[in-house]
Amino acid sequence: MRLLKELDDEDFRTYLRMTPESFVEILNFVKKYITKTDTVMRRAVTTEERLVATLKYLASGREYKDLKLSTCISPQLLSEIIPETCEAIIRVLNDYLKVPETENDWLQIAKDFERKWQFNHCLGAIDGKHVIIEKPPKSGTLYYNYKGTFSVVLLGIVNANYEFIYVNVGDWRLNDNSVSLNRTERQRTADGNSVRQIFTEYFNNQGRVHFQERMINTLNI
C-alpha cells in the first residue's frame, strides 16, 4: 500500500484501471462490508489491501498464485477476499449502472454520440470478451467456444462518455458454443438468432421506449 500511494495518477490508473479518486470513493462505499478486526493470532488484512487485491485481479485476470507476489496475501486467503469484495462492490454500486428507461434517455445518448464522436443514430457501443473458465461438471458443450476453450461471455454497452449502460456477465447463450470448429452456415445463423433473441427480449421489456415502433416501421425490420 505504501508503494501504491507513491504512484502518480497515470501509473495508478495503469495499475488498477481507475483514478485515485475513484478508488477512494469505492473504498468508502465498501469499507463497512469488508473491514475485518485484528485477532490475538494475526493482523487482519486491511480494507485497502482487500480492495487493491480485488481490483488488480479484475484488471489483470491473474491467478491467485501469481497475485500473491504483488499483494503479499496467500492464494487461499485471496480466494476468500476477492469473492467477498466483489459481492460488496456489486451491493454498493447496484444503482450506479442505470439502463436507459425513457425515450429521452435514449435520445440523449444518441445526441452525445453525434456531438462528441460525429456518429449519428447511435444508442450505444457494444463489445464482448470470452472469459476462459474450467469446464463445469456435466455441462457438455454448453460453454464450448469456437477457439476450442470453455468460456463465459462478458458483454457491455457504453454511452458516448464510456459509461456502462448495460452489462451481461456469464451468459453462455452468447458463446459460439457449437460442438465443431467448422460450423455450417445453419449453425452460424442459429448462433446469430440466439444473440438477436436476447436483445429482442430486453428491448421489448425493460428496455422498451416509446419511439421504438416508429423506428421499426421506418427501417422495415
- Across 66-80, 130-144, 174-188, the highest mean pLDDT is recorded for 66-80
Do the Cβ atoms of 49 and 59 come closer than 8 Å?
no
Q: Is residue 205 in some structural domain? A: yes
One domain for residues 76 and 111: no
Instruction: Identify whether residues 6 and 54 lie together within a single domain.
Output: yes
Does residue 176 belong to any structural domain of this protein? Answer: yes
In a domain, residue 97? The reply is no
DSSP characters over 160-210: TTS-EEEEEES-GGGS---S-SS--HHHHHHHHHHHHHHHHHHHTTTT--T
User: In terms of domains, do 58 and 158 share one?
Assistant: no
With residue 159 as reference, give the H or E element that holds it. none
Q: Note whether 66 and 121 are within 8 A (CB).
A: no
- Find the helix packing angle between 20-34 and 9-16, rounded to 10°: 50
Pairing between β-strand 125-132 and β-strand 164-169 as defined by DSSP bridges: unpaired
Question: How many structural domains does the chain have?
Answer: 2
Domain of 128 in residue numbering reads as 103-219
pLDDT digits (tens, 9 = 90+) for 4-53: 777 888 888 888 888 999 999 999 999 999 999 988 888 999 999 999 99
What pLDDT, on a 0 to 100 scale, did the predictor assign at position 178?
Answer: 37
Q: Percent helix, strand, coil in the chain (nearest 5)?
A: 50, 10, 40
221, pLDDT greater than 60? no
Residue 98 lies in a domain: no
pLDDT of amino acid 172: 53
